[in-house]
Structure 1
Amino acid sequence: MKKFVTLFTDSYRELKSVRTITAAAMFAAVAIILDMFSIQLGSYIKITFSSIPNGIISYLFGPVVGGLFSGSLDVLKYLLKPTGAFFPGLTMVTALAGVLYGILYYKKPITLRRILISKLVVMLICNVILNTLCLSILYGKGFMVLLPARALKNLVMWPIDSMIFYTLLKTMDSIGIFRTIRSVHLLHTK
């Protein structure tokens, strides 16, 4: 339990760093650009890779920064490119996804198994159950009517998203991007 609480306290400390805010801003710009190339399939299904920066921020800075980043970025992306009605419940689910990724990635080694498990957890809890519930409330459609298509889309995207995220993280790690962000961050926190 102490390690779990430490994840949040360490992540909160990360939030106080200018380098964390700067890195988050740069990844937010990447997320906004990726969101511009999303594919909207009707009112209920959207395929996008703009969540990749959310996972990277959660990996680098933990659940507190990940949740705040994901939630605030969701609002910002909506303001820049509104699709459908704004619903605060969807923003809260996005923030929860950032927190979950932070819990599952922060200060842990990058492995395909970890990414597959974390993507599955977030897809089931956030994308399939909670987002479908929010869409059901927002559009007045039955939960069970929306569930099959959303579950199928997430099942198909799960290995694809996992492989893309794993490959990207391993590549960024091997060329030293994370080491650079962390070393610069550590220099300024001492």
Structure 2
Amino acid sequence: MKTLEYFRAPRLRTQTLALLGVLMALDIIISRFTIGNSFFQIGFTFITGGLIAKWYGPMWGLPVAFLIDFLTNLLGGQPYIIAFALVKLLSAFIFGYAYYQREYLSWWRLTIAIGLQLLLANVILNTALLGMYNFIPVHSIQAALNSPIVWARALKSLVMWPIEVIISYLILNNKQLVKMAKQIFN
């Protein structure tokens, strides 16, 4: 029965709901600030996504990720494509499953969770979706291996992997944030 308890969502009291709203707003604001051009962008929304995953788990993390994705696209004036939202949900599930109810996140847990998310969501699924919507031929494995977008996204993910692990480790294991979470969630 421990598995069922793991997927139980934390109760949303006034403080926890307010914190969730602040984290959602912060995620939307951070998503506006990226480094690089439109082909090779580095963003930092993994920080707020990690905090939401650690404190609220997959049960609140999934609808929140969907809402953040919708609002980000709405505010950005971009067309809303549900397939990208599903990839965002996959990322939220991976992080929620790996981080939730853990006071301390080890290097191994962060490395595996972030690596899995980067591989599945960024390199494979997002690249395939970008190929479909931008008419880039990645319809077969051979075409994908010959496509520069696949190699650029794989290189970006490989570069970001240790950076995300280090930043996530420092922020998600921060003693002040752990102390604040205990006060808010207990």
TM-score by shorter chain over 0.5: yes
Q: Please, which moves more after superposition, 100-109 or 32-41?
A: 32-41
Q: Does 1:7 align with 2:2?
A: no
2:92 partner letter: G
1:87-108 deviations in whole A, cap 9, x for unaligned? 2111111011111111111112
CA distance in structure 2 between the aligned counterparts of 1:54 and 1:15, rounded to whole angstroms:
19
Alpha carbons of structure 1 residues 48 and 172: separation in structure 2 relative to 1, 3 Å: farther
Q: 2:112 aligns with which of 99, 105, 117?
A: 117
Find the residue that maps to 2:170 and give its secondary structure: helix
Gaps of 5+ in 1: 184-190
Q: 2:91 maps to what in 1?
A: 97
1:150-171 deviations in whole A, cap 9, x for unaligned? 1110010010011111111122
Q: Does 1:133 align with 2:128?
A: yes
CA distance in structure 1 between the aligned counterparts of 2:101 and 2:90, rounded to whole angstroms:
19
TM alignment of 1:19-34, pairs within 5 A: 19-34=15-30
Gaps of 5+ in 2: 139-143
Q: Is the 8 A contact 1:173 1:179 kept in 2?
A: no
Which is helix-richer, 1 or 2? 1
Q: Is the 8 A contact 1:54 1:69 kept in 2?
A: no
Alpha carbons of structure 1 residues 130 and 167: separation in structure 2 relative to 1, 3 Å: same
Q: Does 1:176 align with 2:171?
A: no
Q: Is the 8 A contact 2:73 2:79 kept in 1?
A: no
Residue 28 of structure 1 and its aligned partner are, at CA, apart by: 1.1
Residue 129 of structure 1 and its aligned partner are, at CA, apart by: 0.9
1:141 partner letter: I
Residue 57 of structure 1 and its aligned partner are, at CA, apart by: 0.7
TM alignment of 1:32-51, pairs within 5 A: 32-42=28-38, 44-51=39-46
CA distance in structure 1 between the aligned counterparts of 2:112 and 2:156, rounded to whole angstroms:
17
CA distance in structure 2 between the aligned counterparts of 1:124 and 1:172, rounded to whole angstroms:
30
Alpha carbons of structure 1 residues 172 and 53: separation in structure 2 relative to 1, 3 Å: farther
Q: 1:152 maps to what in 2?
A: 155
Alpha carbons of structure 1 residues 181 and 170: separation in structure 2 relative to 1, 3 Å: same
Q: Is the 8 A contact 2:74 2:80 kept in 1?
A: no
Find the residue that maps to 2:173 and give its secondary structure: helix
1:87 partner letter: I
CA distance in structure 2 between the aligned counterparts of 1:105 and 1:175, rounded to whole angstroms:
13
Q: Is the 8 A contact 2:61 2:93 kept in 1?
A: yes
1:123-175 deviations in whole A, cap 9, x for unaligned? 11111111111111111112212211111100100100111111111225566
CA distance in structure 2 between the aligned counterparts of 1:51 and 1:175, rounded to whole angstroms:
18
Q: TM-score, with normalisation over the residues of structure 2? A: 0.85
Aligned residues, how many? 177
CA distance in structure 2 between the aligned counterparts of 1:69 and 1:158, rounded to whole angstroms:
24
> What percentage of aligned pairs have identical amino acids?
28
Q: TM-score, with normalisation over the residues of structure 1? A: 0.83
